[in-house]
């Protein structure tokens, strides 16, 4: 590598700080420009990182010609921004959820292919230390057969500090299911190396603001035939973030960012979790490795699409009141190569 990769950031809202920190802590890339419609946001972060501020991201990309862009925009802008940046020859790290629906994801994937650039999706939970350790334990086979998974993610979704667009279905694609549920779907698929293939979902819409769902109860099944129950709650509920995997020879309990516990029939015992870099650094490093060395990208556009297909099936299920298949080519391929990289660099 002759010079660090140049990076331009599109959208300087709530999540931008963590991406900027991740880039600052690696020496393989540098932020050259930051764009936000709200000029003061772009200026504040640009000043702190020695970058140039813009209000128009197209203007920024045309002038700065970055190697990579990070897109942190409201969900309805993911598709147009990612496609346009791919057309300019930039690799793209696009925040999750990949887009509003599967059709939009396909358009983004096609744009990446057409232009020979990588599309990575911000499924950064694959880089949580306790998820990496749990995946290794699952793969070792020492826990026997996986028989059931339950996943809970609850927290005050309708809080004052949440930007308005998140609560407007047209701009966000939905509420807790598309936004928080996409993390649950990702961690279940990634840790087990499977795909969700069926969903029966019941949602509720009791939020005091906006028109998006505030809870989702998802009964699902993986490509290996394992039943999964995911609860996503956004009302005034106790904060919870937990995945429990039941095996024939034990139970794994993950409390995200806190601990990994294992029972082999008795009380839960903590499992030592090797320390890893911050997940946003892990995610960024994975993208740089894929760009530079062509290594497998487990957070590829195809993978992001597989998550959106489950979200879409959940919304269809709620509307029809029936179980829905996940309409996916990735599901049928998952047993062959569950984390296939879409890109050959």
Residues that bind ligand NAD (CB under 6 A): 10-15, 35-38, 41, 57, 72-75, 77, 95-96, 122, 124, 163, 179
Closest separation in Å from C-beta 217 to ligand NAD: 22
Start-end of H helices in 116-215: 129-140, 169-172, 176-179, 181-192
Pairing of strands 68-71, 250-255: unpaired
Q: Which is nearer to ligand NAD, 173 or 338 (CB)?
A: 173
Q: Which is nearer to ligand NAD, 37 or 147 (CB)?
A: 37
Q: How far is CA 341 from CA 127, 129, 155, 308, 345, in A?
A: 17, 22, 33, 17, 10
Question: Exposure of 289 by Cβ count < 10 A (0-12 exposed, 13-18 middle, 19+ buried)?
Answer: middle
Closest separation in Å from C-beta 331 to ligand NAD: 24
Four-point Cα dihedral 139, 140, 143, 148, nearest 10: 0
Sequence-separated (6 or more) residues with CB below 8 Å from residue 3:
none
Q: Which is nearer to ligand NAD, 8 or 261 (CB)?
A: 8
Q: Which is nearer to ligand NAD, 41 or 198 (CB)?
A: 41
Closest separation in Å from C-beta 162 to ligand NAD: 8
Q: Which is nearer to ligand NAD, 256 or 334 (CB)?
A: 256
Closest separation in Å from C-beta 126 to ligand NAD: 11
Closest separation in Å from C-beta 50 to ligand NAD: 20
Q: Which is nearer to ligand NAD, 38 or 103 (CB)?
A: 38
Q: Which is nearer to ligand NAD, 161 or 320 (CB)?
A: 161
Q: In the complex, which residue's CB is closest to ligand NAD?
A: 13
Sheet of 119-121, strand order: 52-54, 29-35, 5-10, 68-71, 91-94, 119-121
What does the alpha-carbon distance between residue 332 and residue 298 come to, in Å, rounded to a whole number? 17
Residue 27: CA atoms inside 13 Å, Cβ hemisphere, count?
Answer: 1
Closest CA to 325 of 207, 195, 183: 195
Closest separation in Å from C-beta 313 to ligand NAD: 20
Closest separation in Å from C-beta 95 to ligand NAD: 3
Q: Which is nearer to ligand NAD, 14 or 332 (CB)?
A: 14
Tokens of 197: 């293939």
Closest separation in Å from C-beta 92 to ligand NAD: 13
Helix (H) or strand (E) holding 61: helix 57-64
What does the alpha-carbon distance between residue 243 and residue 237 come to, in Å, rounded to a whole number? 17
Residue 100 CA to its chain's centroid (Å): 13
């Amino acid at each position: 590598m002759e010079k660090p990769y140049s990076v331009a950031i599109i959208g300087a809202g709530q999540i931008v700080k963590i991406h900027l920190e991740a880039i600052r802590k690696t020496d393989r890339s540098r932020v050259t420009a930051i764009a936000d419609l709200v000029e003061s946001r772009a200026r504040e972060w640009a000043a702190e990182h020695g970058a140039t501020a813009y209000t128009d991201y197209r203007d920024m990309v045309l002038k700065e010609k970055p190697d990579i862009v990070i897109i942190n925009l409201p969900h309805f802008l993911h598709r147009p921004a990612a496609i346009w940046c791919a057309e300019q020859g930039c690799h793209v790290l696009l925040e999750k959820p990949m887009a509003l629906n599967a059709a939009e994801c396909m358009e983004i994937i096609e744009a990446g292919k057409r232009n020979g650039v990588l599309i990575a999706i911000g499924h950064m939970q694959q880089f949580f230390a306790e998820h990496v350790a749990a995946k290794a334990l699952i793969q070792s086979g020492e826990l026997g057969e996986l028989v059931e998974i339950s996943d809970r993610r609850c927290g005050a979704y309708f809080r004052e500090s949440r930007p308005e667009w998140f609560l407007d279905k047209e701009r966000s694609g939905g509420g807790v299911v598309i936004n928080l549920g996409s993390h649950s779907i990702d961690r279940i698929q990634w840790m087990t190396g499977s795909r969700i293939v069926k969903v029966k979902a019941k949602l509720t819409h009791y939020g005091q603001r906006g028109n998006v769902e505030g809870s989702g109860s998802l009964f699902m099944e993986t490509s290996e035939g394992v039943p999964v129950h995911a609860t996503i709650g956004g009302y005034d509920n106790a904060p919870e973030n937990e995945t429990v995997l039941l095996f024939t020879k034990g139970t794994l309990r993950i409390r995200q960012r806190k601990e990994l516990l294992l029972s082999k029939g008795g009380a839960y015992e903590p499992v030592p979790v090797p320390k890893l870099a911050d997940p946003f650094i892990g995610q960024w490093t994975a993208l740089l490795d894929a760009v530079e060395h062509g290594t497998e990208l487990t957070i590829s556009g195809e993978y992001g699409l597989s998550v959106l297909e489950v979200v879409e099936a959940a919304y269809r299920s709620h509307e029809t009141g029936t179980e829905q298949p996940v309409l996916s080519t990735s599901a049928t391929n998952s047993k062959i190569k569950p984390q296939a990289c879409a890109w050959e660099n």
